[in-house]
């Protein structure tokens, strides 16, 4: 395997990471398949873009906000696209702020006006149906990333994650580099500044393990401690 550009990680660490990725892919095969199926159902949502923006904002700074803002049906129904379209911009900001506060979403005061700007951007595109079509008509992953990155608060990580959540074919060899992946990188002693280089390192790991980049990303997200424990005890991967 060629990881010569990543001098900080030892060969043994790389071999351990590959072995753990391969083993956990087998161990959690059913879980991964379930997430793929859920992703395909998200892809069919008529409110796809707004729903995924809400999910992204709920998890920005901590995944726990998802439970209070999205999984709580009463709160979620108050911030759907069809509900917010009946409010003024000020009304949307106030509604989003209150719901995120109640859901214990981090940075809710900052996020509410930003999310309202996302709503206005969708409206300027001609509405949610038109905005969804503009996204899904893109021919390449990079074009989709650029489209999503133009929304307030959505950087490359969340642009990737939005499309990875729905298991989109263009994003099965992508990584959404979050704090969990960074903790694995820290354990490896990696210091990679450029997003694309960091992503490439993990995609190479996935390739060596014979799994999708998407699968490695979701495995680290859900089972980070198993990766970290193996790296701390390399003799027992």
pLDDT average, residue stretch 164-186 = 95
Average pLDDT over residues 2-31: 83
Q: What pLDDT is stored for residue 63 in this prediction?
A: 83
> Which whole-number Å values give the CA distances from 98 to 58, 72, 85, 120, in the listed order?
13, 14, 17, 19
Ramachandran region, residue 127 (left: φ > 0; alpha: ψ -120 to 50; beta: rest): left
Residues 49 and 121 in one domain: yes
* pLDDT score, position 233: 84
Q: What is the pTM of this model?
A: 0.90
Cα 176 to Cα 97, 99, 113, 123, 163, distances in angstroms: 26, 26, 25, 27, 10
Average pLDDT value for the chain: 93
Q: Which residue range forms the structural domain that includes residue 133? A: 45-168
Q: Are residues 100 and 190 both part of a single domain?
A: no
- Who contacts 117 (Cβ-Cβ below 8 Å, separation ≥6)? 152
Query: Counting Cβ atoms within 10 Å, is residue 109 exposed (0-12), middle (13-18) or buried (19+)?
Result: exposed
- The rounded percent of the chain whose pLDDT value lies above 70 is 95
Q: How many domains does the chain have?
A: 2
Three-class SS string for 27-58? HCHHHHHHHHHHHHHHHCCCCHHHHHHHHHHH
Query: Does residue 139 share a domain with residue 82?
Result: yes
Domain co-membership, 191 together with 164: no
């Amino acid at each position: 395997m060629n990881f010569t550009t990543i001098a900080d990680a030892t060969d043994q660490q790389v071999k351990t990471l590959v072995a753990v990725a391969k083993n956990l892919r087998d161990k959690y095969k059913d879980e991964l398949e379930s997430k793929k199926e859920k992703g395909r159902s998200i892809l069919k949502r008529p409110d796809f873009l707004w729903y995924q923006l809400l999910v992204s904002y709920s998890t920005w700074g901590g995944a726990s906000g998802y439970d209070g803002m999205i999984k709580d049906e009463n709160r979620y129904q108050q911030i759907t696209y069809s509900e917010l379209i009946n409010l003024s911009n000020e009304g949307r900001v106030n509604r989003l702020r209150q719901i995120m506060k109640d859901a214990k979403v981090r940075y809710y005061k900052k996020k509410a006006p930003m999310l309202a700007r996302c709503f206005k951007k969708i409206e300027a595109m001609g509405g949610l149906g038109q905005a969804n079509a503009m996204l899904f008509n893109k021919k390449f992953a990079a074009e989709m990333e650029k489209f999503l990155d133009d929304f307030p608060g959505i950087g490359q990580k969340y642009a990737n994650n939005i499309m990875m959540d729905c298991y989109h074919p263009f994003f099965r060899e992508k990584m959404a580099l979050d704090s969990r992946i960074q903790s694995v990188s820290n354990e490896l002693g990696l210091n990679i500044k450029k997003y694309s280089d960091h992503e490439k390192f993990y995609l190479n790991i996935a390739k060596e393990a014979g799994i999708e980049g998407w699968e490695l990303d979701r495995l680290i997200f859900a089972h980070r401690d198993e990766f970290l424990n193996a790296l701390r005890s390399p003799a027992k991967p």
